Amino acid sequence: MTQHESPDEQGTAVDADMARVLDLLWKEQPRPRRGPKPALSLPRIVDAAVGIADAEGLAAVSMARIAEELGCSPMALYRYVDSKDDLLVLMTDTVARDLPDMPTDQGWRVGLEAWTRAQIRLAVERPWYLDLPLTAAPTGPTRLRWLDRGFAMLAGTGLGFGDKVQILGLVAQHVLGEARVQVEAHRAAVRAARLRSGVGDDVPESEIDPALVAQLNPYADFEELLARLADPQDFPALFSAAAEAAPDLSPGGAGEPVGDAPVDDDAGVGIEILLDGVAAYIAKRQAQQGT
């Protein structure tokens, strides 16, 4: 807010900005009635930005870089989008457009697990997605289709609108948390692998040994790290719990992996626990409603 700008004026400006972004998200952009097809369009600009982020990361996305990719001047882009912030909002909606097929006829639990896994996979495959303004961005049609699919999964539960919103919101928070852990752990492993291999940041990840990246994942050998570095007297509850799953866990020795989850399904246990809680909540609400 400037020195001479009142709170009401600031609110009006914010409302105007929001209205403009919503128009970009929801309204079909007008096309010229006559003449040749324009070289640029808003979808083409957004697709170019997504392509740059896929190849080089979100930090590489700029109006100048997009203009270079499209073979135009940066000023030409501003005929379609007012700022990079607006572009990021459009990317937030566009990147989720590939909505996969998910079962809607096998019960809410099967459907909601598929819905959850699909979103985690989307974020992990495009790690820059987590750097977008996901919580601050207004909802566009693509993100709303994901929400609609979530409501379809819960259609047979007898829950009300508010309960469904709360459940899907809780699952969405889990998606963001799980995806961020996987993405950040992988980034840390890649950094460590580059350091171990003596290569710089300019070397693509595709040229780094994937086995070394997996080995250097900070969560790969937690039990071994615990046994080698931690003192059982300092962490008695942790060692007691770990010893129940791995009786040979002791200082200086490596225990067996803890837990029953498949090694290739890091997200499975968390999703199972989350959906167990949802199942208990649904049963409670149905009992209250006498259904």
Report which of 198, 195, 193 is spatially closest to residue 211, judged by C-alpha positions: 193
Instruction: Choose between 129 and 225: higher pLDDT.
Output: 129
Beta bridge partners of 253: 250
CA atoms within 13 A on the CB side of 201: 5
d(CA 158, CA 107): 13
Query: What is 108-219+266-289's CATH topology?
Result: Tetracycline Repressor; domain 2 (1.10.357)
Residue 53 confidence (pLDDT):
95
Confidence of residue 1 (pLDDT cuts 50, 70, 90): very low
Cβ atoms of residues 53 and 128 within 8 Å: yes
Q: For residue range 101-159, what is the model confidence (pLDDT) as tens digits?
A: 888 889 999 999 999 999 999 999 999 999 888 776 788 898 899 999 999 999 989 99
The CA distances from residue 10 to 7, 14, 19, 24, 92, in Å, are 5, 6, 14, 21, 25
Is the pTM above the cut of 0.75? yes
Residue 291 confidence (pLDDT):
64
How many other C-beta atoms lie within 10 A of the C-beta of residue 239?
20
- Whose tokens are 């071994």? That residue is 224
- Taking the domains of the chain in order of start, what are their residue ranges? 7-94, 108-219+266-289
Give the CATH number of domain 7-94. 1.10.10.60
